[in-house]
Amino acid sequence: MQNKTNSSARAWRIGLCAAAVALASGCTYIPQQRVAPGEVPILLGPSVRDNVTPMEGVLACFADHVAASARAPIVVSVGDVKDYTGKYSINEGNAITQGGALMVYSALGKLTGAVGVAERFDPVIAERELGYADRRQLGDGMTHRLGNNGNAQVVPWMPYFGGSIHKSDYYIVGGITELNYNINSGGFDISKNQAGAKARTFTASVGVDLRIVDTRSLVVRKTVSLTKQFHGYEVGLNVFRFFGSDLFDVDIGSKGQEPLQLGIRTALEEGVVRLLGTVTQVDPEPCLTLRPGSGAPLPTAVAEKLRTIQNPEAKPGSAPAAATGQAVNLARGPVAGASADASPSASQIGFDIGSSTLGGAAMSTLDQIAALARKQDVEVTLAARDTENWDARKRDGLIDERVSAVVGALASRGIAPGAVAVAWRPDAADTSIHRGEPGLQVIARLRVAGGAEAPRIERPARNEQGK
């Protein structure tokens, strides 16, 4: 009997070890590649991609509005955007990025030329070359003619007469000023006989303070102070005990946290948009509603401004078209390759860059589409920012997800999925941009058949006894 018990315990321990090894190997597998013959294979993770943030749609929208304002372009520079939190760890170094100024420069670059950008953060190379030119040491491999015909002189160095450096109109400075650890946490940690489980959540926050300054007068035109919270979690199961003469210490679990530095970059990008709104005299609020998760009802003034941008022919203060039983008509005309048969009513649904999630504005439009589709055919245009430019394979898959999201949302509003047909979409190998409204591209057209309400299931009436 004792031998049988020992055999069972031994088998249980072997099985536990095998499961732990299998679990560990499954969690840590990363593809390997041998770059050259004779070399040890190296681990290869995902490929390099654009550093996309939740502010991509806002930046693209704001750039379009600045360009459409037809005002003289301004030139913006960036000073030092430092880490003022002072948080430092001996093991991990600085807790906060030291590249705040570089993030602000990248945010300006994402505005796709709506404002000019001047280098002032690191002009060392330019200043050295100006020194070489001043000492007549800088050349370009060619000879240059100086002076009038009577006193002309041919020289191998580049002549410099000053004035080649362009001025800036404004510059942005500031810093990351807050890092608050564990401002809120919760969870549990239970153990008995050296075996237990734990689960907890925690929240931290950062704060950034920026200002934009007039370069000539040094007058601060606007300041912003923004904060961003970060959430994290940790769950785990732990066993630490002896089985006979063997000691087992097993930890299984996972933990995760929002990327801290990505959150700081996002906060800085929003700060840039808010600051530039003052100096360009373009209200950024309508674009800021494009942030993911901003599905809350818009303030009346913002909603009115957004409606005016979407439908320039509408008069201020007029009710949206949906109030008369018609969906808001945002279509601007046919798209190359699109179906030529236009339905009596058309609506447009926009998506954030790289996202298939339907925002608050899209949900309102879908309500209008569902109401109108019970009476007549409706054409639905799916649109994205014209700065969204994926490879053909990724774009085709993203279109599938977006179409499925719209069909599912209409189904939840009583429109049968079979009533929704794809009238047009780009070929799977097509990488061209099919432009629609200013700043937008058309990614698909759907046709919703009128009177296609999904059948409703009637529940049988209950008798007085509730049977």
Take residue 337 and report the two structure tokens written for it. 């390759």
Lowest-pLDDT choice from 175-179, 208-212, 445-449:
445-449
pLDDT tens digits along 199-208: 878 888 999 9
Considering the chain, what percentage of its residues have pLDDT values greater than 70? 75
Domain boundaries in the chain? 56-122+166-285, 294-448
Q: Is 89 exposed, middle or buried (0-12, 13-18, 19+ CB in 10 A)?
A: exposed
Instruction: Work out the average pLDDT over 379-388.
Output: 85
> Mapping DSSP to helix (H, G, I), strand (E, B) and coil, where does residue 270 land?
helix
Our CA angle for 392, 397, 399, nearest 5°, is 95
For the chain, report the end-to-end CA distance as a whole number of angstroms. 58
Residue 459: pLDDT band with limits 50, 70, 90: very low
Between these two residues, 1 and 46, which has the higher pLDDT value? 46
The domain 56-122+166-285 is placed in CATH, from the list 3.40.309.10, 3.10.105.10, 3.80.10.10, 3.40.50.10610, at 3.40.50.10610
Average pLDDT, the chain: 77
Single-letter amino acid code for the residue at 255: K
Among the listed residues 300, 306, 279, the one whose alpha carbon sits nearest the alpha carbon of residue 314: 306
Check if the beta carbon of residue 351 is closer than 8 Å to that of residue 339: no
pLDDT tens digits along 154-196: 888 888 878 888 999 999 999 999 999 878 777 767 776 667 7
Question: What per-residue confidence (pLDDT) applies to 48?
Answer: 84
Instruction: Work out the average pLDDT over 278-282.
Output: 92
pLDDT tens digits along 391-401: 777 888 889 88
Rounded to the nearest 10 degrees, the angle between the axes of helix 100-109 and helix 260-280 is: 50
Question: What per-residue confidence (pLDDT) applies to 10?
Answer: 57
Question: pTM surpassing 0.85?
Answer: no
Among the listed residues 130, 213, 200, the one whose alpha carbon sits nearest the alpha carbon of residue 172: 213
Provide DSSP, 426-439. Answer: --TT-----B-STT
pLDDT exceeds 90 at position 340: no
Question: What per-residue confidence (pLDDT) applies to 9?
Answer: 56
Question: What per-residue confidence (pLDDT) applies to 27?
Answer: 53
pLDDT exceeds 70 at position 316: no
pLDDT tens digits along 1-30: 555 555 555 555 555 555 555 555 455 567
pLDDT exceeds 70 at position 367: yes
pLDDT exceeds 90 at position 88: no
Rounded Cα gap, residues 107 and 101, in angstroms: 10
